[in-house]
């Protein structure tokens, strides 16, 4: 179990760091954009420095675990390409993707519930 945590902690902090970097980028590129919460710029910069520390230490200490975690995340690129970016896919591939989507929804119990058909009772 600890190995999986080591694999994914790098990826988790990478995504958090990229989000904070995006926040700083938008602060300068779109300064007039409405923001529900406003922080002084030192807060996200400090957080970004901490994220960089949490990325660089595991990269130095355990490069194998870091690489495996990154490979796990990057393995989603072909799935994203096949499911989203590939717009001219054959109907058979689209049917397979639809079936796999429905199967995943059923297994993970995240499909919307279908309302049952109510039958009128026949009068005797």
Tens of pLDDT, residue by residue over 17-59, are 999 999 899 999 998 888 888 889 999 999 999 999 988 888 8
pLDDT score recorded for residue 119? 52
**pTM beyond cutoff 0.85:** no
Structural contact between residues 11 and 75, judged by C-beta atoms closer than 8 angstroms: no
Q: What is the pLDDT of residue 50?
A: 93
Q: Dig out the tokens for 12 from the structure.
A: 């988790």
Q: Judge contact between 10 and 59, C-beta under 8 A.
A: yes
What CA–CA distance (Å, rounded) separates 102 from 110?
9
Query: What's the pLDDT band for 8 if we cut at 50, 70, 90?
Result: confident
Distance CA 120, CA 118 (A): 7
The span from the CA of 41 to the CA of 35, in Å, is 13
Q: Give residue 38's pLDDT.
A: 83
Q: Is the pLDDT of residue 2 over 80?
A: no
| Chain center to CA of 59 | 21
From residue 14, give the alpha-carbon distance in Å to each of 20, 27, 29, 94, 110: 10, 20, 22, 32, 28
| pLDDT tens-digit series, residues 72-98 | 888 999 989 888 898 898 999 989 988
What's the confidence (pLDDT) of residue 84? 86
DSSP class of residue 117 equals P
Q: Which of 96, 99, 72 is nearest to 86 (CA)?
A: 96
């Amino acid at each position: 179990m600890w190995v999986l945590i080591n694999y994914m902690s790098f990826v988790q902090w990478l995504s958090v760091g990229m989000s904070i970097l995006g926040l700083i980028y938008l602060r300068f590129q779109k300064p007039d954009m409405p923001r529900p919460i406003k922080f002084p710029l030192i807060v996200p910069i400090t957080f970004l420095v901490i994220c960089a520390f949490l990325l660089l230490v595991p990269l130095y200490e355990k490069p194998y675990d870091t690489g495996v975690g990154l490979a796990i995340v990057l393995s989603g690129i072909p799935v994203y390409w096949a499911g989203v970016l590939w717009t001219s896919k054959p109907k058979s591939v689209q049917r397979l993707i639809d079936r796999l989507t429905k199967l995943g929804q059923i297994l993970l119990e995240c499909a919307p519930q279908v309302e049952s058909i109510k039958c009128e009772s026949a009068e005797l």
